[in-house]
Amino acid sequence: MNKFYDKIFKYSLQMIVIIFCVFPFYYSVMTSLEGSSAVFEPNFFPTEINPKNYNYLLFEHNFPQTILNSLFVATVTVSISITISYFAAWSLSRVNFKGRSMFLFVILAISMFPQIAVLTGMYQLFLNFKDFYFNIFDLRVKGVTSLLWLCFTYTMFNIPFTVWVLTTFMKGVPKEIEEAAIVDGASSFLILRKIFLPIMTPAIFTTAIMAMIAVWNEFLFALTFTATNSDRTITVGIALINGTIEYEVPWGSIMAASVIVTVPLVIITLLLQGRIMSGLTAGSIKG
């Protein structure tokens, strides 16, 4: 009998955790599927399925543009920072040189930096960049200035994180694998391309996904450096969804927008569950 209660007790603890973590997400999915009147009747299960909120966002609102902007910024940022970090991670994990710990410590310190500490300086740089950019390119491509600038700043803020995680992952690769190639006289570049790349692909992929989520979710810089409807990213886009009448908040549309940007992340996270867990751990505790 005791064993039976023990089992029930464990299942209920697990259910509490699951409900706690999933309920807000479930509830917003449900709200997003309801029409205007049903939204304003609290209930636990949908009373109707109405695509109205999604139709509005996807066809009458500039929301698709913000998704494209975020995708653009995330892709550029992640590709650049992963490439730079991959080579740096090799140096920091496989080669012994003076000042290596110091370098890692500085990277850790920078990753803990408050973003606001550099915001004023960044804004001044941004204005200079805009001037410079406008002088070189003609009017047609002016619209992407803010987005290019966001790519630049996000790359900078992602690099300490990606370097740190990739270094930890690369430390885990057995020394023997590399030694054989060194004996054969392969160059470091060749070793990184032919030997490490296949082994590291899952780790690189995990790091890239985590960096991508960080970019996707960023708010402070996106809010500061984007100014028009055409260059907003999704976080700012959602923050600015407002009703036509003041004080009337369009909760259905806000929830639909939230669901659109969240569902891909949730699916990726669930598929890569184990990998993301090891990536998160690698980012904080070293190997």
Partner 1 sequence: MKSVSQLRKRTALIFLIPVTIVLLSSALYPLISTLYLSLTDAELENFLDPNYVGFINYLENYEGMWYGVLADSLFWNSVRNTIVFSVFSVSLEVILGISFALIMLIENKLKWFVRAAVLIPWAIPTIVSARMFEWMLQDQFGIFNYILIGMGIIEQGKAWTTDPQTSMIVIIIIDAWKTSPFVAILVYAGLKALPNEVLEAGKVDGTNGITQFYYIIFPLILPAIAVAIVFRGLDALRVFDLIYLINAGSKDIMSMTVYARREMFEYSHFGFGAAASTMLTLIIGVIAVIFIQRTRLHKLDEME
Least distance from partner 1 to the Cβ atom of residue 224, Å: 6
Contact 55, 64 (CB under 8 A): no
Least distance from partner 1 to the Cβ atom of residue 158, Å: 10
Q: Which residues fall within 8 angstroms of residue 28, CB to CB, at 6 or more apart?
A: 255, 258, 259
**Nearer to partner 1 (CB atom), residue 141 or residue 287:** 287
CA 145 remoteness from chain centre = 21
Neighbours of 279 (CB within 10 A): 23
Q: Which of 2, 120, 228, 244 binds partner 1 (CB under 8 A)?
A: 120
Between CA 164 and CA 208, with CA 212 as vertex, the angle to 5 degrees is 50
Place of tokens 């809010």: 223
| Interface pattern 26-45 for partner 1 (x via CB under 8 A) | -xx--x-------xxxx-x-
DSSP code, position 112:
T
Contact 231, 149 (CB under 8 A): no
Query: String of b and e for 105-141 (b: at least 16 CB within 10 Å)?
Result: eebeeebeeeeeeebeebeeebeeeeeeeeeeeeeee
**Residue 8 engages partner 1 in binding (rule: CB under 8 A):** no
Q: Which of 1, 5, 21, 184 binds partner 1 (CB under 8 A)?
A: 21
The Cα–Cα gap between 236 and 223 comes to: 6
Q: Which of 10, 142, 193, 194 binds partner 1 (CB under 8 A)?
A: 10
- Residues 148-167 binding partner 1 (CB under 8 A) are 153, 155-157, 159-160, 163
**Nearer to partner 1 (CB atom), residue 142 or residue 286:** 286
Q: Which of 4, 45, 60, 127 binds partner 1 (CB under 8 A)?
A: 127
- Residues 82-111 binding partner 1 (CB under 8 A) are 84-85, 87-88, 90-92, 94-97, 100-101, 103-110
| Interface pattern 175-214 for partner 1 (x via CB under 8 A) | -------x----xxx-----------------------x-
**Residue 285 engages partner 1 in binding (rule: CB under 8 A):** yes
Least distance from partner 1 to the Cβ atom of residue 169, Å: 14
DSSP code, position 139:
G
